[in-house]
Structure 1
Amino acid sequence: MRSSPPGSASRSRVRCSKTQLSWWRERLDPNAILELPADRPRPTALSPHGARQTVMLPPALTQTLKSLGQREGKTLFVTLLAAFEVLLHRYTGQEDLVVGTPIAGRGRSELEGMIGLFINTLALRTSLSGRPSFRELMGRVHQTTVDAFAHQELPFERLVDALKPERRLSHSPLFQVMFILQNAPMPPLQAPGLVMEFQQPETGTTKFDLTLIATELPEGLRLVAEYSTDLFEPETITRLLAHYQTLLSGIAANPEQPISALPILPEPERHTLLADWNGAPTSYPRDACLHQLIEAQVARTPEAVALTYEDQSLTYAELDARANQLAWHLRSLGVGPESRVGLCLERSLEMVISLLATLKAGGAYVPLDPAYPQERLGWMLEDASPTVLLVQERLLSRLPSQSARVVCVDSGWADISSQPRHVPPALAGANSLAYIIFTSGSTGRPKGAMNEHHPVVNRLLWMQDEYKLGAQDVVLQKTPFSFDVSVWEFFWPLMQGARLVLAKPGGHQDPDYLARLISQERVTTLHFVPSMLKVFLEEPELERCASLKRVVCSGEALPVELQDQCLQRLPWAELHNLYGPTEAAVDVTYYACKVRESLRSVPIGRAVANTQIRILDGQLQPVPVGVPGELYIGGVQVGRGYRARPDLTAERFIPDAFSSTQGARMYRTGDVARWLPDGNIEYVGRADFQVKIRGFRIELGEIETLLAQHPSVRQVAVVAREDRPGDKRLVAYLVAAPEQTPAAAELRSFLQTRLPEHMVPSAFVVLEKLPLSPNGKLERRALPAPDLGGQSAGQPFEAPRTEVEQLIAGIWKEVLQVERVGLDDPFFALGGNSLLALQVHRRLKTALGTGLALTQLFQYPTVRTLADRLSKQEGTQDSAQTGRARAEARRAFTRRVSGGRGRTDSQDGDDSDV
Structure 2
Amino acid sequence: MSTRITSSYQSNLAQQLAALSPAKRSLLELRLMRKNRRQSAQSMTIPRQPNRESAPLSYNQQGLWVLNQLMPGTSLYHTPMAVRLTGNLDVAALKNALDMVIARHDALRTTFGIVDGSPKQVVAKSLALDMPIIDLTEFPQPDRDTEAQRLLQDEAGRPFDLSQGPLIRSLLLRLAEREHILLVTTHHIVTDGWSVGIFQRQLSELYEAANDEQQSSLPQLPIQYPDYSIWQREWFEGDVYQSQLAYWKKQFATLPPVLELPVDHPRPSIQAYRAFRGAQHTISLSKQLTHDLKQLCRKENVTLFMTLMAAFQVLLHRYTGEDDIVVGTPIAGRQMPETEDLIGLFINTLAMRTSISGELTLRDLLGRVKEVALGAYAHQDLPFERLVKELQPERTLAHNPLFQVMFVLQSEDIQPLQLEGLEVEHFRVGNIMANFDLTLDIVERDEQLVCLFESNADLFDSDTIERLMGHFQNLLEGIVANPEQKISELPLLSEAERRKLLVEWNDTRTDYPANKCIQELFEQQVERTPDAVALICDNRQLSYRELNSQANRLAHYLRKRGVAADSRVAICMQRSPEMIVALLAILKAGGAYLPLSKIRGPRRL
Query: Under a length normalisation based on structure 1, what TM-score does the superposition of the two structures give?
Result: 0.34
Query: Under a length normalisation based on structure 2, what TM-score does the superposition of the two structures give?
Result: 0.50
Query: Looking at both structures, which has the greater relative contact order when contacts are Cα pairs under 8 Å and sequence separation is at least 6?
Result: 2
The structure with the largest helix share of the pair is 2
